[in-house]
Every structure is written in C-alpha cells, then in structure tokens.
C-alpha cells in the first residue's frame, strides 16, 4: 500500500469535515448552503482519495454512511432494513461501466442485455411508510439511512398517501419507500403567498417539502400540497412479485402513487435513450427531478448482486447537468429600460450551469435584493433551468468574505443623474429623467428591432453610438440621418452607411401593428399590438379609445388599458407620433378579420428549425393571421409544431409528447388550403 502524503491526509480531513457540515445542514437543518453539484464534487473527490489510499477509510467517513443524525423534536426510529442510497453516474461512460459491472458480476455474455426498470429521480425527501394489515401505521424519514424521524402525523396529511391500502393480497406487514415532494405549481403558490405576507420564501421545492414535513404542527403540513411517489419496498411479510416493475405496478393497484414515466429498458442503450427522453421533457414535468434511476429489474438478480457500503450494486442514478451552481458576485450594475425601470444585474465570475456559461443574472428589483440579503463579494447560487433567464437563488453566508459590501439601490440614475422614484404598489424603481440617455437608447433599440420597424443593420451598438455622438435624439430623428453622418462610425464604411440609410428609408412602409408595437407603450407587446390594430384600425380610433373601450378588447386587462390610455394622453408622445408621420412613416389600411372564424382559431402552434422559404417570423406571422396562437415552447397543450431543418430539442419534445409535427411541405399545404385568409396585412 502506498504511503499517504501529508498534503493528501490534510485534504482528506478538510473534505470530511466540510461534507459532515453540509450533511448536517442538508439532513438535519434542511438548510443546505451549497448546490447539489458542489456537494457531489466534494464526495467524488473524497471517494477518489479513499480508493487510492484505502487505509485512510474510517468508519465515520461520510462515504461510509448517508446523511447525519436526525434533529430533536421527533422520535427516532430504527429502520428494519437500512434505507440505501444510490451511486451516481454523471456521464454516459459511468452508465456503460455500471452495466458492464452488472453483466460481469452476473456472468452474463458481453452482448447480453439486462432488463432495467427506469424512473425519473424526484428531488424530494426520502420516506418509509409502514402498512400493517393494510393500515398506515408509521411514516419515517430516511435520516442517516439506519434511523430516521417518526413523522407519522405529518405523513398522514399527504393527500395521495392512502391511510388504508385498496384491494387485497398485500403482505401483513409492508414497508413502502419513496419520495415526498412539492409539485412546482404548489411551490410557486407557497412562495407567492409567503412573499405577499413579507415572510421568508423557500429556495426550491425540495427545501419547501423538507420544511413542510418537519413541522411539529401537522396542521401546517396539511396546508402544503405535498405528494408522495413510491419507488421500492423495504421490509415485508408475505409475497410480492418477482420484478421491480411488477412490484411497483402492484403498489399502484393497492392505491400508492408510482411514477407515470416508469418504463422497462433492455440493455444500456435503451437506458441512455430513456435518459435523453426524460431530459427533454424535464421542464414539462409538474415536479422537479435531478436525474433518472436505473434498477436491475429482476429481484433475484438484485439479491445476487447485493450491495457495497450503503449503495446497491443493482441500481444507479444518472444525474442531469446541474441547474444550480455557485459563483462569486463581482458587482451589481443598474440597467435602465426604455420606460425608466431600473433593473439590478448581477455581474458574476463566469460559471457553467444548465448547459451554458453564465456571467450575468437578473436581481429583478430592490425587494429581491433585500430578500436575498446579497453583498458584493458574496458566493451566490445561480439557477438556470429551461428557457428561464439565470437567477440568483441564494447567498452562501458561510462563505461571505470580510469586507463584502451590501448592495444599495442608487438614489440617482447612473446615466442621467435624475432622481430614482419608487412608486407605491410597484416593485420596480424608475429613473424619473425626461431626457435620460439610457432610456432613449433602449427606446430607439426597441423602435428599430425586428418585430417593430425592422431596420436592418441598426444593431444595439450602433444605436448607442448614434445617441452618444448626438446624431439622433428621438426615433423620428433616425429618418433625418444622412450617409455621411454615419460613415466613419465604428465598423461603418461608406457602403454600409448607405445601406443603413436605405434600410431606414425602407422601414417607413410598415404595418399599423408594427407601428403600435414600435412606440414602446408599457405592457404592449407584439401580440397586444396586433390585437389593438384589429380593434382600433386607425390611429385616431386608438388615440380616442377610453379605458372602458380598451378593456373590452380580448387579451387587454385594466393595467395595459391604463398604460395605453395614459400614453396617448401625454403631449410628448403625440409629438413623437406626429414627427414620425411627418417623416413619411405609413401603413396600408388595416383589414379587419373576425378571429373566431379564422381556420386555426383556438390552436397553439410552435415554429422551430430552419425553413427554406420562410423566416421564423414570417412563418409565425402567417400562422397568427390564420388565427393560431404562436408559442415559443412545446407542451402537451401545443396543437402542432412546424419543424424545419435542424429542428432540435423542440422537435424531440413534440415527438415525446405525441404532438403533431408539420414539415415545410405540410406547412405550405396548410397555407395553401387557407390562402383566402392570407390576403392583407394588419
Ligand atoms: N426513482 C427512485 N428514486 N430513488 C431514490 N428510485 C430510487 N431508489 C432509491 C433512492 C434512494 O434507492 C433504492 C436503492 C431503493
């Protein structure tokens, strides 16, 4: 055995101490201070060292047991059979290695295909339920795997846990194991409610579930919409089926919930296909998962394989890339939007999370900064899931360095120096400046953007330069620019300058809906602008629309109606509109259509991939004109997906969810069938 270098021994001691601290916070206090991915890394490093220097393994090493001692307040109960934990796979090779080890131990041929029972791995709290003669008599947390806390009274409040098993044939004594979790929607509702009452919000659904289950007063637990999903049995007296799949199906027949995504896979390749399938639908599932679990399906083979330490040799959890990671908060900047709203933005030490490198994350507003209690210099947890923009989830207080600086909202706009106003009833603070260069830049960027006036070649950087050089001071002033004004600006030769002037000229011919959107009225996005153009088809009608007229329009609520009315009451906005019309901005008369009678009314479509004959926006516009609602993401509610070349995850998701898919030819055919409806343009 090789000698243990002093530096390694020291690293071991630190790792064990750190992991033990995190176990205590995670299992006992329900207050983890680091993301799971970081914890996994520490454990991996510890295992690596112990594998190289087995003589260093101590009985109390965190690798030798799961979690920490239960907290005070509930009675401690020993598990008759230990509650095992799972080994993790982080990449494809880990799963292939697992499958190879299983085949080798079972003395199966190299090309033999083992049957695995596959399930999503729920991110909840592991629980053991004991049924005696079909009656629920006890609910215990996993605790350290050997003993947990008796939380029977709380478990009984979980609505999908049967107090009495259905049917017959269940063992006289049956211990069922699974995960208690809080569905995403229930988590959002709890946090919304807590925020409204000024109470502390939960960091994630797992934390909320843990907090709810550890209530000493079961009436509080009962108010949280917890659910349980079962994944195995522990001790039992009597007969059970011979495979994992059939045991779970049997549990379901006795009234216990099992995962609806459970499937059988034959061999490692089908397991990998399952992993990718679940990863694709992960964001559509109503609960949080952090990976998938594969178990050798036959119970006799499970018994033959046995377990090492506290993890079975017949199961593995293949983890998804982390949605949460830690990094350092380098600074907080304040951005000013086109309507003056100030948004604090966290500047971060770049970190790879949720499949992308993140260096900025929104901090939303001052309420959020107060809620997080964040200081510059702090280590923060960043979350990036699905299409959602990266968020700062929490601060790792243990790691706050000396001299970390609290974040203050500025009293004056960092761009124009005007007072920052916090209006009553609004979370957002606003720059009150009437001539703020930051607001002006954002308003012009919006005006020129693709879905507004669509000025080709007028990107964000160019708008900033034009404002900074005082070549423009309003959207209308764009139309007075001449090629020599812009030639010589950053990366702007004579030819590009002329192209830009031509594009600005071309943009004068627009549609009424685009014009409305380009004005940048608060709460008026592209879809609302289209609705407004249909219901108030001339500028005069729109200017004169009262709030009552506006709220009678579909999709326009009282808040948007107030903003629209107030926009057209402000003299400077009317001057801007007048100036644009004087410059020659115009649009064809709006053709009013009845939306109820359009051929795709009531349908939701998604466009993905590259179409040969249409840009993505053209395709969306055509679908909207046929009455469809166009969405950016595929869900079970999507009516159909138009998929061009190189369609990626949205196409896979559509196939996984059995949503109808149209290729470009089928899309063209659809357009041809409804050609009569595609005459004019709003
Ligand atoms: N879906 C699932 N999650 N999960 C967690 N199955 C599963 N099995 C587990 C754990 C801890 O342990 C087995 C060893 C029973």
- Of the pLDDT bands very low, low, confident and very high (cuts 50, 70, 90), residue 447 is very high
* 528-548: average pLDDT: 93
Task: Count Cβ atoms within 10 A of the Cβ of residue 419 and give its class: 0-12 exposed, 13-18 middle, 19 or more buried.
Answer: exposed
Distance of CA 547 to the CA centre of its chain: 35
Q: What is the DSSP string of 475-518?
A: TGGGGG--HHHHTTSTT--HHHHHHHHHHHHHTTB--HHHHHHH
For residue 527, what are the contacts with CB-CB under 8 A and spacing of at least 6? 555, 624
Number of H helices, E strands in the chain: 24, 26
CATH code for the domain defined by 94-319: 3.30.470.30
119 lines ligand 1 (CB under 6 A): yes
What is the end-to-end Cα distance of the chain in Å, rounded?
80
Tell whether the model's pLDDT for residue 309 goes beyond 90.
no
Residues 603 and 629: beta-carbon distance below 8 Å: yes
Class of domain 512-582: mainly alpha
What does the pLDDT read at residue 284? 84
Q: Which of 292-301, 434-443, 625-634 has the highest mean pLDDT?
A: 292-301
Q: Which of 286, 445, 428, 315 is nearest to 363 (CA)?
A: 428
Asked, colleague to colleague, whether 437-506 and 595-678 share their fold, the answer is no
Contact 671, 613 (CB under 8 A): no
Q: Which of 82, 121, 287 to mutate to test the pocket of ligand 1 (most atoms within 8 A of CB)?
A: 121
pLDDT tens, residue by residue, 486-531: 998 888 889 999 999 999 999 999 999 999 999 999 989 988 898 8
**What is the fold, at CATH topology level, of the domain defined by 437-506?**
DNA polymerase; domain 1 (1.10.150)
149 and 29 Cβ atoms separated by less than 8 Å: no
Average pLDDT, the chain: 89
Geometric angle at alpha carbon 339, from 338 and 345, rounded to 5°: 70
- With a 6 Å cutoff on the Cβ, whether 84 touches ligand 1 is yes
Which range, of 49-58, 383-392, 570-579, averages the lowest pLDDT? 383-392
Q: Are strands 429-431 and 629-630 parallel, antiparallel or unpaired?
A: unpaired
> Does ligand 1 come within 6 angstroms of the Cβ of 118?
no
Question: Per-residue pLDDT tens for 170-195?
Answer: 999 999 999 999 999 899 898 888 87
Give mean pLDDT, residues 555-569. Answer: 91
Task: Report the pLDDT averaged over residues 379-388.
Answer: 83
Distance 293 CA to ligand 1 centre (A): 7
Instruction: List the CATH code of the domain at 595-678.
Output: 3.40.50.10190
d(CA 135, CA 127): 17
- The residue behind tokens 């490198």 is 357
Ligand 1 centroid – CA 121 distance (Å): 7
Instruction: Give the model confidence (pLDDT) of 17-62 as tens digits.
Output: 898 788 766 654 556 778 888 888 999 999 999 989 988 987 667 7
What proportion of the chain, given as a percentage, has pLDDT over 90?
A: 60
Average pLDDT over residues 107-126: 94
**% of the chain beyond a pLDDT of 70:** 96
pLDDT at 65: 47
The atom number, within ligand 1, closest to the CA of 292 reads: 1
Q: Is residue 153 exposed (0-12), middle (13-18) or buried (19+ Cβ within 10 Å)? A: middle
- In this prediction, residue 436 has a pLDDT band, given cuts at 50, 70 and 90, of very high
pLDDT (tens digit, 9 = 90+) per residue, 613-667?
998 888 988 898 888 888 888 888 899 999 998 887 788 888 888 889 999 999 9
In 513-612, DSSP assigns E strands to: 604-608
Active-site residues: which are they? 121
Q: Look at residue 680 in the predicted model and tell me its pLDDT.
A: 46
Report, as an integer, the average pLDDT of 337-362: 92
Among 41-55, 61-75, 390-404, the minimum mean pLDDT is found in: 61-75
Q: Superfamily assignment of 6-65 in CATH?
A: Helix hairpin bin (1.10.287.610)
| Domain range summary for the chain, segments of one domain joined by + | 6-65, 94-319, 324-421, 437-506, 512-582, 595-678
Please check the confidence at residue 553 and state whether its pLDDT lies above 90.
Answer: no
- Average pLDDT on 227-237 reads 94
Find tokens 């510059």 and name the residue: 376
- Domain 324-421: top CATH class: mainly beta
pLDDT at 71 over 60: no
The pTM of the full predicted model, rounded to 2 decimals, is 0.64
Is 66 a residue whose pLDDT tops 70? no
Q: Which atom of ligand 1 is nearest to the CA of 84?
A: 14
| Short-list 232, 234, 236, CA closest to 246 | 232
- Tens digit of each residue's pLDDT (9 = 90 or more) over 352-379: 887 789 999 999 888 889 888 999 999 9
Q: What sign has the CA pseudo-torsion 295, 297, 302, 304?
A: negative
Beta-sheet pairing, 604-608 with 640-643? parallel
Q: Whose CA is nearest to atom 3 of ligand 1?
A: 121
Ligand 1 atom nearest the C-alpha of 126 is 11
Average pLDDT of the residues in 151-168: 88
């Amino acid at each position: 055995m090789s000698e243990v270098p002093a530096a390694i021994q020291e690293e071991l001691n630190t790792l064990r101490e750190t992991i033990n601290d995190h176990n205590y916070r995670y299992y006992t206090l329900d207050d983890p201070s680091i993301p799971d991915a970081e914890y996994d890394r520490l454990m991996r490093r510890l295992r690596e060292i112990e594998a190289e220097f087995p003589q260093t393994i101590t009985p109390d090493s965190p690798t030798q047991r799961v979690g920490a001692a239960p907290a005070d307040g509930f009675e401690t109960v020993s598990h008759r059979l230990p509650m095992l934990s799972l080994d993790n796979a982080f990449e494809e090779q880990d799963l292939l290695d697992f499958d190879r080890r299983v085949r080798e131990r079972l003395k199966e041929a190299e090309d033999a295909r083992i049957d695995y029972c596959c399930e999503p791995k729920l991110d909840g709290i592991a629980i053991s339920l004991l049924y005696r003669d079909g009656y629920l008599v006890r609910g215990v947390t996993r605790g350290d795997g050997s003993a947990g806390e008796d939380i029977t009274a709380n478990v009984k409040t979980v609505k999908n846990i049967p107090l009495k098993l259905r049917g017959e044939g269940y063992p006289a004594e049956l211990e069922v194991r699974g995960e208690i979790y809080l569905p995403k929607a229930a988590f959002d509702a709890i946090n919304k409610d807590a925020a409204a009452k000024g109470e502390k919000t939960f960091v994630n659904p797992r934390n909320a579930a843990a907090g709810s289950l550890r209530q000493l007063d079961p009436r509080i637990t009962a108010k949280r919409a917890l659910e349980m999903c079962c994944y195995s049995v522990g001790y039992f007296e009597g007969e059970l089926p011979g495979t994992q799949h059939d045991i779970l199906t049997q549990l379901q027949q006795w009234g216990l919930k099992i995962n609806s995504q459970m499937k059988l896979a034959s061999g490692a390749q089908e397991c990998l296909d399952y992993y990718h399938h679940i990863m694709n639908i992960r964001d559509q599932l109503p609960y949080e998962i952090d990976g998938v679990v594969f178990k050798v399906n036959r119970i006799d083979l499970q018994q033959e394989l046995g377990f090492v330490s506290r993890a079975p040799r017949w199961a593995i959890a293949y983890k998804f890339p982390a949605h949460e990671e830690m990094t350092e908060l380098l600074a907080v900047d304040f951005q000013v939007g086109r309507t003056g709203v100030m948004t604090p933005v966290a500047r971060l030490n770049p970190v790879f999370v949720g499949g992308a490198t993140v260096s900025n994350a929104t901090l939303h507003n001052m309420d959020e900064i107060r809620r997080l209690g964040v200081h510059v210099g702090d280590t923060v947890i960043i979350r990036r899931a699905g299409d959602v923009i990266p968020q700062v989830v929490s601060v790792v207080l243990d790691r706050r360095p000396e001299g970390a600086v609290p974040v203050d909202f500025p009293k004056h706009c960092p761009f124009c120096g005007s007072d920052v106003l916090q209006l009553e009833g609004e979370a957002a603070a606003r720059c009150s400046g009437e001539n703020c260069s930051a607001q002006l830049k954002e308003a012009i960027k919006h005006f020129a953007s693709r879905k507004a006036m669509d000025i080709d070649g007028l990107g964000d950087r160019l708008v900033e330069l034009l404002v900074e050089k005082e070549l423009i001071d309003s959207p209308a002033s764009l139309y007075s620019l001449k090629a020599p004004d812009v030639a010589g600006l950053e990366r702007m030769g004579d030819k590009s300058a002329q192209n830009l002037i031509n594009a600005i000229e071309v943009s004068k011919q627009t549609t009424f809906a685009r014009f409305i959107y380009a004005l940048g009225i608060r709460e008026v996005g592209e879809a609302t602008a289209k609705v407004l153009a249909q219901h108030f088809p001339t500028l005069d009608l729109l200017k004169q629309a009262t709030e009552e007229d506006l709220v009678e329009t579909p999709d326009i609520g009282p808040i948007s109606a107030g903003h629209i009315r107030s926009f057209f009451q402000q003299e400077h906005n009317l001057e801007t509109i007048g100036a644009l019309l004087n410059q020659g901005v115009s649009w064809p008369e709006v053709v009013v259509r009845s939306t109820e009678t359009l051929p795709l009314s009531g349908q939701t479509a998604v466009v993905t991939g590259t179409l040969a004959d249409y840009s993505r926006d053209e395709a969306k516009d055509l679908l909207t004109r046929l009455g469809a609602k166009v969405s950016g993401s595929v869900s079970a509610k999507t009516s159909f997906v138009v998929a061009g070349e190189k369609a990626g995850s949205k196409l896979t998701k559509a196939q996984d969810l059995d949503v109808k898919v149209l290729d470009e030819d089928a899309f063209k055919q659809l357009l041809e069938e409804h050609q009569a409806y595609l005459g004019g343009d709003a």
